[in-house]
Amino acid sequence: MNVRRSAAVLAAVAVIGAATPAAADPSPSPSQAFPSALYGDKDPKYDGVWRQSLALLAQDTVGVKPADKSVQWLTRQQCADGSFASYRPDPAAACDAKTMLDTNATSAAVQALTALGGHDGVTRKAVGWLKSVQNEDGGWGYAPGGASDTNSTSIVIGALAAAGEKPDQVEKDGKSPHDALLKLALPCGGDGDGAFAFQPDKKGELAANADATAAGVLGALGKGMVVEPGKKSDATCEKAATPRQAAANGAGYLTAALAKDGNHLMSALAGAEPQPDFGNTADAVVALAAQGDTAQAEKSVRWLEKNSASWAAQSGPAAFAQLIFAAHATGTNPRDFGGADLVKQLGATGPAPQTAGKTTSEAADEKEDSGSDFFGVWWYVGVCLVAGIGIGFLFTGRKKQQQQL
């Protein structure tokens, strides 16, 4: 889930969804200290708003109330027109023509602030800005005016849905976001077999992309980062005449891709040695759960429990959030995720929260006593760090796109 950087990413992205292995960014020196309200200690230039939003959304999902100053930091990042940039070092300075506005960061902020509640003015302006920069094909690119891509279009859909909008009715020139996604869906059969592409290449051809497919499934279903398991679907790959069918096709592609490599996805950047792609595997789990394909989702989340600890520790807040989203979507306890407490680990990357949430046993006791349908607060759901491999469907392309602008 790296930041999507406008139309400049077109030629560079033949395969999105993995990043080459990289050492973690160094911790800031005293001369480059970052705000104490910010989650993570790496340079937030490309992902400050993104990782803050995911961290806040994740904490809210598991019943943890974030520190006020962390929420205030996020709201102060908003520009006067309602948009968010990836990171504004001085939020007191007005946004201008040089400010690199970011549909992905804006959408993530909307999802987080809507979940937290009490920020209707901020989210209303943000949604208004997103609508104002919708492309004629109904979709969005990373930056306003950039060619539509599956990842950006899908995270905007999630923001619209979170804010109470009906994404299929948000149109530009008669085209909705779902129209844009259907154009980016590959036909059944062949290598693509129902997957989504990130964007067409220079020749207008579509290439299957697991990162984009995970995003596209959620977008086609009208879902954001936090999902509940959907109704089981036995749909086979057929012509994607509707968003629902496109989602089913994409889920089928993900299931096959995950099973092929031992229940996880692999990175596939040209010139790099393929390695397990933890972030995109987590995103694929969320997408499959939302579609109702829970059998493969559960196998893959078990793989993440056994193998993702080092990746998450190196990558930071957004990675912990992605794992929490995957845990929530599959009914897995994020406080005992392969023996690790993801909620505690996420909290340690930022200011101490106001509340720590309930333990599994406390949540179970409360449900039994009340007879309610309350889900234990340890359930959690939802990129963009510049270190590590494939930090997610809305995260993987962010650094590439930023560097190309």
pLDDT tens per residue across span 275-309 = 999 999 999 999 999 999 999 999 999 999 999 99
Cβ(360)–Cβ(250) under 8 Å?
Answer: no
Whether the predicted pLDDT of 336 surpasses 60? yes
pLDDT band at 231 (very low <50, low <70, confident <90, very high): confident
Predicted TM-score (pTM) above 0.85: no
Selection from 301, 341, 384 nearest residue 104 by Cα? 384
pLDDT at residue number 246:
97
pLDDT band at 356 (very low <50, low <70, confident <90, very high): low
The better pLDDT of the pair 212, 34 is held by 212
Give alpha helix (H) positions in 204-242: 210-221
Selection from 282, 397, 296 nearest residue 17 by Cα? 397
pLDDT at residue number 280:
97
SS3 category, 84 = strand
Q: Look over the chain and give the mean of its residue pLDDT values, rounded to a whole number.
A: 84
Range of weakest confidence among 19-33, 86-100, 176-190: 19-33
* Residue 265 DSSP one-character state: E
Whether the predicted pLDDT of 354 surpasses 50? yes
pLDDT at residue number 403:
44
The better pLDDT of the pair 146, 374 is held by 146
Q: How far apart are CA 161 and CA 225, in angstroms?
A: 11
- Mean pLDDT of all residues in 349-370: 59
pLDDT band at 59 (very low <50, low <70, confident <90, very high): very high
- Mean pLDDT of all residues in 33-46: 94
Buried-state track 47-77, b at ≥16 Cβ within 10 A, e below 16: bbbbbbbbbbbbbbbbbbebbeebbebbbeb
The tokens for 62 are 């598991």
Residues 6+ apart with CB under 8 A from 10: 147, 199, 200, 201, 202
Q: Can you count the helices (H) and strands (E) in the chain?
A: 15, 2
- Bridge-partner residues for 177, per DSSP? none
Measure CA 369 to chain center: 35
Residue 329, amino acid: A
Q: How far apart are CA 89 and CA 250, in angstroms?
A: 39
- Bridge-partner residues for 2, per DSSP? 396
pLDDT at residue number 233:
73
Q: Quick one: angle between helices 278-291 and 317-330, nearest 10?
A: 30
The tokens for 196 are 């989504």
Q: What share of the chain in percent tops pLDDT 90?
A: 74
Buried-state track 363-386, b at ≥16 Cβ within 10 A, e below 16: beeeeeeeeeeeebbbbbbbbbbb
Whether the predicted pLDDT of 164 surpasses 50? yes
* Residue 272 DSSP one-character state: S
Q: If you compute the radius of gyration of the chain from its CA atoms, what whole number of angstroms results? A: 19
SS3 category, 64 = coil
- Mean pLDDT of all residues in 362-367: 42
pLDDT at residue number 375:
33
Q: Tell me whether residue 267 is exposed, middle or buried, using C-beta atoms within 10 angstroms of its C-beta: 0 to 12, 13 to 18, 19 or more.
A: buried
The tokens for 168 are 């299929």
Look at the block and give the residue holding tokens 């309602």: 82
The tokens for 13 are 């992205």
Whether the predicted pLDDT of 19 surpasses 80? no
- Bridge-partner residues for 396, per DSSP? 2
Whether the predicted pLDDT of 30 surpasses 80? no
pLDDT at residue number 357:
57
Q: How far apart are CA 101 and CA 362, in angstroms?
A: 43
Q: How far apart are CA 197 and CA 14, in angstroms?
A: 9
Measured in Å, how far apart are the chain's first and last C-alpha atoms? 18
What Cα–Cα distance (Å) separates residue 365 from each residue in 169, 182, 228? 42, 45, 22
Residue 255, amino acid: T
Selection from 44, 51, 18, 46 nearest residue 389 by Cα? 18
Could you report the per-residue pLDDT of 243-257, keeping only the tens digit for each?
Answer: 999 999 999 999 999
Query: CB neighbours (10 Å) of residue 205?
Result: 10
